[in-house]
Amino acid sequence: MNNGFGYVFQGDASTVQSEYSTVSYLARGLYNYKNKYYLNASFRDDASSRIPAKNRHQQFWSLGGAWELSKEDFMQNVKQINFLKLKASVGVLGNQSAYASDFTTPLNYPSYPGLKPGVVVPFGQVLVTANLPAYRVNPDLKWETVNAFDIGFEGTAFDNRLHFEATYYNKVTKDMMTYVDLSSLGLDDQLENGGKLKNWGEEFSASWNQKVNQDLTINIGGNITFMKNKVLSVAADLPSGQIIRGFANNSSAEARTIPGYPIGSFYGYVVDGLYQSNLDILNSPPASSIGTYRPGDFKFKDINGDGVIDANDRTVIGNPSPDFIYGGTIGATYKRFNASIDLGGVYGNEIFRVWGSLESPFQRVNYPALKIDRWHGAGTSNWEPIISQADRFNYNGSTYNIEDGSYFRIRNLQVGYDFDPKMLSKAYIKNLRVYANVQNLKTWKHNNGYTAEYGGDATGFGFDFAGGAIPRIVTFGLNVTF
């Protein structure tokens, strides 16, 4: 049985405490035939206090197998391969964690919601400030389950200098435990088992260790993970129309989880240029339902073709999840000198830039350099709108906010020297090492912000609020062992 307990101090005189329990029964079996055929199976029964009593118990299982091909007779003449294994697994996993509206605070008592303040209700002829439950209790809440499958191989070759591994994975999450914010519709928020999500892709890694001569050794390694995700469905009874809104429930900066698209997709208008003149406005579909506009403001595309620009013309405009992530290391040792470099990056994701494009303090006191190319007369720009605090029409979230989030970074660089222990023995020192280290030495990116990495929550991430600057850290060190 596992118990969870925690508390957080909030100010000088108050605390928040919570507790939950899980009980698990586990059975596992392993089988090995001739040290080259392997099979393992597991079964478990879990119960959690976080789940209502009627659905508290849930069974999960997994099955895995491996075949060590390098021990087969037909591989004995392949001298280059030292070890080769084929492996696969399939199973069902569970998740008991539900989160509040901020998507970070766990709900350890989902059947007993907290209170939300600031609600005004009539009491006779007097309006009284009251509290209401934070969300509607769901007595049918049940475990979130993940149906997972993977298959791959690993091995070593060329006198164990090369190690390589490749895996294909496929995961389908069902009955997702989702906090659904319906406040904008005048309805109670809901905690639902809402929908199905698919994640799939490939993972590859390889490393090479080469001893060039008696003094020089080189190590090179790298990995890359291709990842895709798609929302298959959300809760069928959601009054929001098969949509889960993330981060912001407004027209300025919004992420939506919609069936058929990646989770947390950016949502907004498609920019079709700028209005260059009043005649251009007259010859374009009217857009007065989303604000007052003039020459120099955005011209949005009529997505649904009804001849009017309104909220119905918003669509998916970006994906915050990358196509792939990658990394690598290079290390070298020459006599007692050694050096290593760690590299990494992502490719294919988008960032929603909020600063310098939507209303923010940055626009009231200063303007970013990109505003130099702003519209200031017919034909001067067809992308950077007019500078004006009054032109709130341009605060509508659109493809103007979307930037390329791909980047490549030198994450760490270290150079060191290990002194000869024989020379140190007279001072009763076993080891002495000096080194210099640089973190975040250099980042190559495409967006205008300080960095290309922006977190968030499960259904809303990748928003750039002009923060998140990553410092370059230079350190010098001395390690001594007596």
289 is a domain residue: yes
Structural domain span for residue 140: 22-481
Output the average pLDDT for the chain.
87
The pLDDT, as a whole number, for residue 384 is: 94
- Check whether 415 has a pLDDT greater than 80: yes
The pLDDT, as a whole number, for residue 106 is: 78
325 is a domain residue: yes
15 is a domain residue: no
Identity of residue 390: A
7 is a domain residue: no
The pLDDT, as a whole number, for residue 206 is: 97
47 is a domain residue: yes
pLDDT band at 183 (very low <50, low <70, confident <90, very high): low
Mean pLDDT of 374-394: 91
251 is a domain residue: yes
The pLDDT, as a whole number, for residue 238 is: 58
- Looking only at the bridges linking them, the beta strands covering 216-233 and 126-133 are unpaired
Radius of gyration over every alpha carbon of the chain, rounded to an integer in angstroms: 29
Higher pLDDT: 306 or 11? It is: 306
pLDDT band at 27 (very low <50, low <70, confident <90, very high): very high
How confident is the model over 457-482, as pLDDT tens digits?
A: 777 889 998 888 889 999 999 988 88
Q: How many domains does the chain have?
A: 1
Mean pLDDT of 51-64: 92
pLDDT band at 117 (very low <50, low <70, confident <90, very high): confident
Mean pLDDT of 436-441: 96
Q: Which of 91-100, 217-226, 328-337, 398-407 has the lowest mean pLDDT?
A: 91-100
CATH code of residue 70: 2.40.170
Answer yes or no: are the C-beta atoms of 204 and 328 closer than 8 Å: no
pLDDT band at 184 (very low <50, low <70, confident <90, very high): low
Higher pLDDT: 423 or 443? It is: 443
Higher pLDDT: 46 or 135? It is: 46
**Nearest Cα to Cα of residue 174 among 151, 138, 148:** 148
Mean pLDDT of 74-89: 94
The pLDDT, as a whole number, for residue 7 is: 46
pLDDT band at 103 (very low <50, low <70, confident <90, very high): low
Mean pLDDT of 229-250: 66
How confident is the model over 267-310, as pLDDT tens digits?
A: 999 999 999 999 999 999 999 999 999 999 999 999 999 999 99
473 is a domain residue: yes
The pLDDT, as a whole number, for residue 80 is: 92
- Confidence (pTM): 0.84
- How far apart are alpha carbons 121 and 245 in whole angstroms? 27
Higher pLDDT: 10 or 217? It is: 217
95 is a domain residue: yes
Answer yes or no: are the C-beta atoms of 5 and 18 closer than 8 Å: yes
Residue with tokens 């008696």: 214
Identity of residue 388: S
Helix, strand, coil percentages in the chain from 3-state DSSP, rounded to 5: 10, 50, 40
- Express as a percent the part of the chain with pLDDT over 90: 58
The pLDDT, as a whole number, for residue 9 is: 45
Q: How far is CA 428 from CA 162, 200, 201, 432, 477, in A?
A: 39, 56, 54, 11, 20
